Structures are given as C-alpha cells and as structure tokens.
Amino acid sequence: MAKQIDAATLKRLIGEGRERAILDAREEGEFGGSHLFWAIPCPLSKMEFRARLLLPRRETPVVCVDGGEGYAARLAAYLEGIGCTDVAVLEGGTPGWAAAGYVVFSGVNVPSKAFGEWVEHRYETPSVDPGELKAMMDSGLDMVVLDSRPIDEFRRMTIPTAVNVPGGELVYRIGEFVTRPETTIVVNCAGRTRSILGAESLRSAGVPNKVVALRNGTMGWELAGFTCDRGRTDRYPERDPAGLKDAFARADRFARKHGVSFATRAEFEAMRADGSRTTYLLDVRDPAEFAAGHMIGSRSAPGGQLVQATDQWVAVRGARIVLVDDTGVRARMTGGWLRQLGGWEVVVLTDGLSGRREEGAWATECPEAKAIQVPHISPAELAALAAEGAAQVVDLARSIDFRDGHVPGALWGIRTRLDRLAPRLTGDRQVVVAAPEDAQARLAAAELRGFARAPVKVLAGGTRAWKEAGFPMAADRRNPEDADCVDFYLRPYDRNEGVEEAMHAYLSWEIDLVHEVAKDGDAPFGAWP
C-alpha cells in the first residue's frame, strides 16, 4: 500500500525542483474542475497506456492525486504493480490541498496556457482585436493570416483567408508565405495561447515583418459578430520550405539564447542509459512526417502542441527532454520555448534522423492488453448481428467523438466504470466493444466479462473500420449530455447551451491565469535554472 504525503510536505518538495511527478487519477473532465498546478492527468481508464509514457524511469518519485474519491489509491497500487518504487498518495486529495491554503486551478493544460499569458506580459506581444483585423482585411492591406492550430481544429472553424500553419512550423515555413518586409503577419488560434506563442515565435526569431496575434482567436472573432469559415483545408506546402537557411539561423540563435543543449545520437545513447535521470525522446515534426520514418523509441509530439499542452507528453519535473527533427529548425524553436516554460533540461539532437529509422504511427505498449484473449468480429459480421437485434455495441471513444459519430444504437462508456451500463446489457445480445485502439478494447472486454451475461467480442478496427466499410453512422450532439462528459473537458464551442457565456468565461480565465500562477508560486517561467 502506497504511503501518504501531506500537502505541506508536497508543496516543499515541489519547490526543491528535483525529479517528481504528480499524477491525477480522475478523468479529464473531472480533473479540469479543480487540480494542482503541476498535476498531470493519468485517468484510471487510460492508466495502462499513460503511466508507462509519463514515467519512463520507474524510480521517479510519484504522488497520486484525486478529488477525494479514492481513485488515487487505485492508481498508486497500479504504479507499484508495474515497478514504480517511490509512490505516495496526497492526503485529502485536491480538496485537502485547497484546505491547506494552496491554490487550485480549473481547466486543462494549465502550465502551458499560463505560460502563454506570461509570454505576452514578458515580451509585450502586440495583438489586434477582431474589429481591427476585419478593417485590415477590408482595406486590402498586404497581410497574411496564419492559423497556428492542428489541421483538425482548423477544419472545425477558422478566420476567413487564414492558412493552417501549426505553431511549431511557423518559423520553419514563414518563407513560403512572406517574401516582402511590408507584409503584416497575423497569427490566430481558438483563444489566446497559440496565437501569442506563434506570433512571439516569429518576433523572437527575428522575422523583420510586423507580427501580431489575433486577440482571443476564433472565439473573439465570433463574439465580435463575425463568421468563421468551416471545413477548409488550406495548408502549408508539404516540402522543404523556402528560406530554410534563414529559418535555421533564427531558430539556432533563439535556442542558444535560452539555454538549449545539443547532442549527437551517440551522446544520447549515454543519456538514455543513465538510470539516475528521466529522459523523454520526442519528435516535433508533423505526425505524417513522423509516420514516414522516425528515430526508434521516439514519440510524435508536434512542436506547437508540445508547448501548448506539455502535460500530454511530459510528467516529470526536472527531467531531460530530448527533441528530434530533420533540419533542426523546429526542434530548436520548440526547445527554446520549453526552456522558458521551465523545469527541464532540453537537448536537441543534431543528427537524430541520420541513423536507422522505423515507420508507422506511434503506438504504446500495453502488456496487460496483450495478455487478454478475446474474439474479434468484422464490421460486416457486426452489421449482420445488428440486423437481427442480436448485438449491443459498447463504444469507448471520447465522448466528444462519440457525439460526432458511432455505430447506431451503441452505448457510450468509460473503461473502469462500465459496470454502470450493466442494467442496459441484456443476456440475449452479444456485447461488442468498439474502441479507438485494440488494446483499449481488450481491457474493456475483460471488464465487461465480469458482469455481462452475454459473450463479449471486439469490433476489429473499431468505429473507424465500421465507417470505412460504408455502414451507417449515428450522431447525436446530446449523447452523452454535457454533464456526463466527464472524460473530456468541454471547450466552449463543444457545449449545447451557453456557448457565448462559456467563451467569455474561458477567455477571462486565460487572462487571469498569470495572476493565479503568481499566487501559487511554483512556476519558474523564464528562470530555471
């Protein structure tokens, strides 16, 4: 059984700056309600996948946290079971932390979002409001609007005339879009963080043009009464960009200014063999480039998203982060920002892709799932069973994705909580599990076997395979209801009601983060070490 640690002791240990991880065992939506600043989501439903990624060194001290429900003890027991040797549970969870007088935060990706606000204050990043941008467009000003989010977010909604250039690509690819010093560059995202960081990347790298962030992004644009485009796919050309030599020189100055280190592959192998340090190996290129060939053992972490949502990849404060790319530009820019965000040694590999590579999208190892034997059925076989009323599908997709499309009649559920579906699973219909990953489906099948009265099988390829086979999809914006989406922290535009009010609240929350962080006192932005 894991030891207990009180809030005062944990606060002191955080301040020491040594390697430590704080893992929150709740689902993301629950986590987003209230959590510690440096807590990292590791929900029980995904712990077999997340824990191994977040804790590459099992000797790292770990503190498990929850909201007082007892989830932290379950996570701690799992971590000890996979070999973690220094695991504790925070007494009283997040409520106990607050009761001790320490600051708690709402929202997700809080350190990165707070860092974005700090960057705006620190560098006085200029911005324009939506009305100013619309006037600039109407005047025919020589300008370009660059949307710094991933392509899926860009397709959902974007500013008219914008081109998709994710934040980690901006300095690398700016030569493709700007050839005249008179051209004004506007960078936008959905809210504030990636607009600010994208604009400041170009400014700090020394791009000579006027560069501004769109204040409050697409949310601000719509709140101002303007309409976003939807379904667009305008993106940067997928080739080595124009101006690569200048981009490298700019990125190299930026990285060196902020204390990024450099190493060869051979030197990295010595780092990886050092059992006294936690080392993450992250490839900051576009996921498609990663899939085409990457350094063995690396994870795909596109640079802009890595800075925007560092807690998706890195849990251990004081760890070493090693970055890989092809030309050196994207790794250097990402590294410079991570150094300022603070708390890590950051190393860029100078020859990371020069040796042997492997192809394919990244996939985590999950020994627990491999050990589970469960029969699979094809989409066609499921369709035949469904036509006879002989199958019940349990879908483990994120709630937000389930809303967008699922097998007709499917039930949505969260693994480790599937027993809540028991009253709806009858003994006369086979239970079929659909999940984004086969390992996730296998784990759920084992859970369902504990109480389902019918045989349990897995849909090969999940809902994606069902759709690709041409079978019908169902979609329901209210299934599950907003209040039931505990697995996902709903963004303002994901909500069914009160979208405008939620946008205002979100933007106010982002702006106020810098003050809350100052009260908390544990963010070493720009000053570590």
pLDDT band at residue 528 using 50, 70 and 90 as cut-offs: very low
- Nearest CA to 118 out of 438, 520, 528, 511 is that of 511
Residues 274 and 231 in one domain: no
Which residues have a Cβ under 8 Å from the Cβ of 139 and sit 6 or more positions away?
none
CATH of the domain at 446: 3.40.250.10
Q: Does residue 212 share a domain with residue 191?
A: yes
> Judging by DSSP bridges, how do beta strands 357-358 and 294-295 pair with one another?
antiparallel
Segment 353-364 shows an average pLDDT of 88
- Count of the separate structural domains present in the chain: 4
Upstream peptide bond of 480 is cis (omega within 30 degrees of 0)? yes
pLDDT at 342: 84
Same domain, 131 and 237: yes
Residues 122 and 215 reside in one and the same domain? yes
CA angle 251, 315, 197 (to 5 degrees): 35
Tell me which DSSP letter residue 2 carries.
Answer: P
Are residues 121 and 103 both part of a single domain? no
Range of the domain at 312: 251-354
Domain boundary among 465, 484, 503: 484
pTM above 0.85, yes or no: yes
Cβ pair 198, 167 in contact under 8 A: yes
Residue 347 has pLDDT above 80, yes or no: yes
For tokens 């510690």, what's the residue? Answer: 36
- Look at the alpha carbons of 513, 334, 336, 262 in this order and tell me if their dihedral is positive or negative: positive
Dist CA 303 CA 172 (whole Å) = 11
Model confidence at 362, in pLDDT bands (50, 70, 90)?
A: confident
In three-state secondary structure terms, 215 is coil
- The candidate with the shortest Cα–Cα distance to 461, out of 447, 452, 471, is 471
Pairing of strands 279-283, 320-324: parallel
Same domain, 373 and 452: yes
In a domain, 152, yes or no: yes
Chain mean pLDDT for the chain: 96
Is residue 440 included in any domain, yes or no?
Answer: yes
pLDDT reported for residue 529: 36
Q: End-to-end CA distance of the chain: give it in Å, rounded.
A: 35
pLDDT on residue 527: 54
Helix, strand or coil for residue 508? helix
pLDDT, one tens digit per residue, over 485-498 is 999 999 999 999 99
Q: Which residues contact 178 (CB under 8 A, 6 or more apart)?
A: 144, 185, 207, 209
Local structure of 487: helix, strand or coil: coil
